[in-house]
Amino acid sequence: MKYTTIIFDLDGTLLNTLADLAAATNYALAEHKLPQRTTDEVRLFVGNGIHKLIERAVPADTPAKLQEEVFASFNKYYKQHCADSTSPYEGVPQLLQQLRAAGCRTAIVSNKADYGVQALAKQYFDGQLDAACGERAGIAKKPAPDMLLAIMRQLKAEPASTIYIGDSDTDLDTARNAGVACIGACWGFRGRAFLEAHGAKLLAENVSDIWELIK
């Protein structure tokens, strides 16, 4: 196979987490008597970590202290409800099984808080991943390449045989910054037109297209 280390983004790539992210966002906003956001708005807010999600969700004139309180409320709720409506995209479990059977190493690198990454990876993909990394203290989040490179070192992966799969411009930039190939996931939160506009060279319309692009 051309690529033997396959690293995925999580939200909008392996899992459709949008409903639970929107519910947690609106719980946190309501707790502080701030205006609610639609699911489509939240779709555009995600991808750069929870702090950035909350910064985008609150009104523009929200004081920093209140933003931090909303952030804390989000985390309190999401830790208990991160999988209420979340599910893998069609074909994801089968793809991971196919990759494992072919001897590929598989991992997640996400800007989601690490507690969420670990919980969801265990719930939905237990035994199907070699590593998973979310946003945490001490390592720069995407689009900095640090998390992706750290996972590659952990897996002893070479750039030429590693590919990153994600649904956003942040993912495209992360792969570029790490010096690895990238597949844009058109089924995710941004869509084909957005990914093409941001320079995606490889695109998968559906999860089932991934295998042909990496083998």
Residues of the chain above pLDDT 90, percent: 99
Mean pLDDT, the chain, as a whole number?
97
∠ CA 44-49-53, rounded to 5°: 45
Q: What are phi and psi of 49, to 5 degrees?
A: 95, 165
In angstroms, rounded to a whole number, what is the distance separating the alpha carbons of residues 177 and 39? 30
Going by pLDDT thresholds of 50, 70 and 90, the confidence category of residue 197 is very high
pLDDT of residue 11: 97
Look up residue 21 and give its two tokens. 């992210």
| Residues labelled as active-site residues | 9
**Confidence band, pLDDT 50/70/90 cuts, at residue 25:** very high
Confidence (pLDDT) at 160: 98
Q: Where in the chain is the domain with CATH 1.10.150.240?
A: 18-81
- According to DSSP, the β-strands at 87-88 and 15-16 are antiparallel
Q: Is the pLDDT of residue 155 over 90?
A: yes
What's the confidence (pLDDT) of residue 1?
Answer: 87
Mean pLDDT of 173-196: 97
Within the chain, all domains assigned CATH 3.40.50.1000 are found at: 5-16+87-214
Provide CATH code, domain 5-16+87-214: 3.40.50.1000
State yes or no: pLDDT of 149 exceeds 90. yes
Average pLDDT over residues 18-37: 98
Taking the domain 18-81, which CATH number applies?
A: 1.10.150.240
Residue with tokens 């939160």: 189
The pair of structure tokens assigned to 122 is 């265990």
Mean pLDDT across 28-56 = 96
Report the pLDDT value the prediction gives residue 76, as an integer from 0 to 100.
97
Tens of pLDDT, residues 97-119 = 999 999 999 999 999 999 999 99
Contact 134, 110 (CB under 8 A): yes
Report the C-alpha gap between 182 and 203 in whole angstroms.
9
State the CB neighbour count (10 A cutoff) for residue 201: 11
